[in-house]
Structure 1
Amino acid sequence: MSKRIVVDPITRIEGHLRIEADVQNGKIQDAFSSGTAIRGIELVVKNRDPRDVWAYAQRICGVCTTVHALASIRSVEDALGIRIPQNANLIRNIMNATIILHDHVVHFYHLHAFDWVDALSVLKADPAATSKLAQSISPWPNSSPGYFKSVQAKIKKVADSGQLGVFANGYWGHPGYKLPPEVNLLAVAHYLEALDWQKEIVKIHTIFGGKNPHPHYLVGGMATPLDINMDNGIHSEKLALIDQLISQAHDFVNQVYLPDLLAIGSFYKDWAKQEIGGGLNNYLCYGDFSTKDIHDTQLYRVPRGIILNGNMNDVLDIDPRDPNQVSELIDHAWYTYDGKASGGRHPWKGETSMNYTGPTPPFQNLNTNEKYSWVKSPRWKGNAMETGPLARIMVGYAKNTGDYRALVDDTLKKLGLPITALHSAVGRTVARGLDAQLAADWLRDDFNSLMANLKSGDQVTFDNSKWEPKTWPKHALGVGTVEAPRGSLGHWIEIKDGKTANYQAVVPTTWNASPRDDAGRIGAYESSLKNVPVADPNQPLEILRVVHSFDPCLACAVHLTDLENKNKTSVRVDG
Structure 2
Amino acid sequence: MSERIVVDPITRIEGHLRVEVDIDQNGVINDAFSSGTSVRGLELIVRDRDPRDVWAYIQRICGVCTTVHALTSIRSVEDALGIKIPRNAHLIRDIMNEVLYIHDHVVHFYHLHALDWVDVVSALKADPAQTSQIAQSISSWPNSSTGYFADVQNKVKKLVDSGQLGIFANGYWGHPAYKLPPEVNLLAVAHYLEALDFQKEIVKIHTIFGGKNPHPHYVVGGMATPLDIDSDNAVNAERLMHVSQLIDQAKDFVNQVYIPDLLAIGSYYKDWTYGGGLNNYLCYGDFSTTNIYDVKNYRMPRGIILNGNLSQIYDIDLKDTKQIQEFIDHSWYTYDGKKGNGVGKHPFNGQTELNYTCPKAPFTTLDTTKQYSWLKAPRWKEQPMETGPLARIMVGYAAGKDEFVNIVDSTLQKLNLPITALQSAIGRTVARGLETVLIANWLRNDMDELLKNIKNGNQITFDRTKWDPSTWPSSAQGVGWAEAPRGALGHWIDIENGKTKNYQAVVPSTWNASPRDNNNTLGAYEAALRGAQLLNKEQPLEIMRIIHSFDPCLACAVHLTDLETKQTTKIRLG
Superposition TM-score, scaled by structure 1 size: 0.97
Which residue matches 1:568? none
1:134 matched to 2:161 = no
**Structure 2 equivalent of residue 239 of structure 1:** 240
**Matches of 1:242 and 1:86 in 2, distance apart?**
18
Can you give the 5+ residue segments of structure 2 that lack an aligned partner in the other structure? 561-568
Quote the Cα distance in structure 2 between the aligned partners of 1:560 and 1:220.
Answer: 37
Displacement after TM superposition at 1:3 (Å): 1.2
Query: Between the two proteins, what is the percent identity of the paired residues?
Result: 69
Q: Does 1:459 align with 2:467?
A: no
Give 1:373 deviation, angstroms: 0.1
- In the alignment, the residues of structure 1 paired with residue 238 and residue 17 of structure 2 have an alpha-carbon distance, to the nearest angstrom, of 44
Cα pair distance change 1:225/1:362, threshold 3 Å:
farther
Change (3 A) 1:341 1:207: same
User: Residue 55 of structure 2 contacts residue 71 of structure 2 at CA under 8 Å; is this kept in 1?
Assistant: yes
Does the Cα contact within 8 Å between 1:474 and 1:496 map onto a contact in 2? yes
Paired AA for residue 392 in structure 1: R
* C-alpha distance after superposition, 1:445-464 (max 9, x if no partner): 00000000001100000000
User: Superposition pairs for residues 272-283 of structure 1, below 5 Å?
Assistant: 275-283=273-281
Q: Which residue of 2 aligns with 1:79?
A: 80
Identify the residue that residue 346 of structure 1 maps to in structure 2: 346
1:214 matched residue in structure 2? 215
**1:357 Cα shift?**
3.4
What amino acid is the match of 2:392? Answer: R
Contact 2:359 2:573 in 1 (8 A): no
1:269-325 alpha-carbon deviations (Å, 9 max, x no partner): 001xxx310000000000000111111101110000000000110001011111111
Amino acid at match of 1:77: E
Q: Which runs of 5+ in 1 are unaligned?
A: 565-575
1:104 is matched with which residue? 105
Aligned to 2:296: 298
CA contact (8 A) 1:62 1:213 kept: yes
**Map 1:475-514 → 2, pairs under 5 A:** 475-514=475-514
CA distance in 1, matches of 2:400, 2:202: 30
Q: Which amino acid aligns with 1:557?
A: H
Structure 2 counterpart SS, 1:516: coil
Say yes or no: does 1:557 pair with 2:559. yes
Residue 336 of structure 1 corresponds to 334
Contact 1:495 1:501 in 2 (8 A): yes
Q: Once the 2 structures are TM-superposed, how far is the Cα of residue 560 of structure 1 from its aligned partner?
A: 4.0
Q: How large is the Cα RMSD of the aligned pairs?
A: 1.0
1:309 aligns with 2:310: no
Q: 1:490 & 1:557 partners in 2: Cα distance? A: 16
1:179 corresponds in structure 2 to: 180
1:358, distance to aligned residue in structure 2 (A)? 5.0
What amino acid is the match of 1:309? Answer: N
C-alpha contact (below 8 Å) 2:358/2:573 kept by paired residues: no
Structure 1 106/33 Cα, relative in aligned 2: closer, same or farther at 3 Å?
Answer: same
Task: Write the deviation string for residues 109-145 of structure 1: whole angstroms up to 9, x where unpaired.
Answer: 0000000000011100000000000000000000000
CA deviations on 1:128-175 (whole Å, 9 max, x unpaired) are: 000000000000000000000000000001111111111100000000
CA contact (8 A) 1:357 1:371 kept: no
**Where does residue 58 of structure 1 map in the other structure?**
59
- Does structure 1 retain, via aligned residues, the 8 Å contact 2:227–2:460? yes
Q: CA deviation at 1:360?
A: 4.6
Shift of 1:26: 1.8
Q: Which residue of 1 aligns with 2:565?
A: none
What is the aligned partner in structure 2 of residue 198 from structure 1? 199
Report the CA distance between 1:532 and its aligned residue.
Answer: 0.4
Note the 1:366-515 alignment, pairs <5 A.
Answer: 366-515=366-515
The CA deviation at 1:541 is 0.2
- Which digits, 9 at most, give the CA deviation of each residue in 1:187-233, with x for residues without a partner? 00000000000000000000000000000000000000011001100
Aligned to 2:566: none
Q: Offset of 1:402 from its aligned partner?
A: 3.8
Change in CA separation of 1:105 and 1:503 when aligned onto 2, cut-off 3 Å: same
Q: Distance in 2 between matches of 1:65 and 1:478?
A: 20
Does structure 2 conserve the Cα–Cα contact (< 8 Å) formed by 1:4 and 1:23? yes
Distance 2:532 2:336 in 1: 39
Moved over 6 A (4+): none
Task: Name 1:44's counterpart in structure 2.
Answer: 45
Corresponding residue number in structure 1 for 2:33: 32
**Equivalent pair of 1:112/1:549 in contact (CA under 8 Å):** yes
| Residue identity opposite 2:311 in structure 1 | N
CA contact (8 A) 1:362 1:562 kept: no
Q: Distance in 1 between matches of 2:45 and 2:62?
A: 14
Aligned length: 561
Counterparts of 2:423 and 2:540 in 1: how far apart (Å)? 21
Query: Which amino acid in the other structure matches residue 328 of structure 1?
Result: E
Q: Counterpart of 2:462 in structure 1: which amino acid?
A: F
TM-score scaled by structure 2?
Answer: 0.97
Take 2:66 and 2:402, find their aligned partners in 1: how far apart are those partners?
28
After superposition, residues 141-160 of structure 1 pair within 5 angstroms as 141-160=142-161
Amino acid at match of 2:215: H
Secondary structure of 1:22's counterpart equals strand
Q: C-alpha separation between the residues in 2 aligned to 1:345 and 1:315?
A: 24
Post-superposition shift, 1:401?
A: 1.5
Helix, strand or coil for the counterpart of 1:20?
strand
What residue in structure 2 maps to residue 167 of structure 1? 168
Deviations 1:469-499 (A, max 9, x none): 0011100000000100000000000000000
Q: Deviations over 1:1-40 (max 9, x none)?
A: 2111000000000000000000112210000000001121
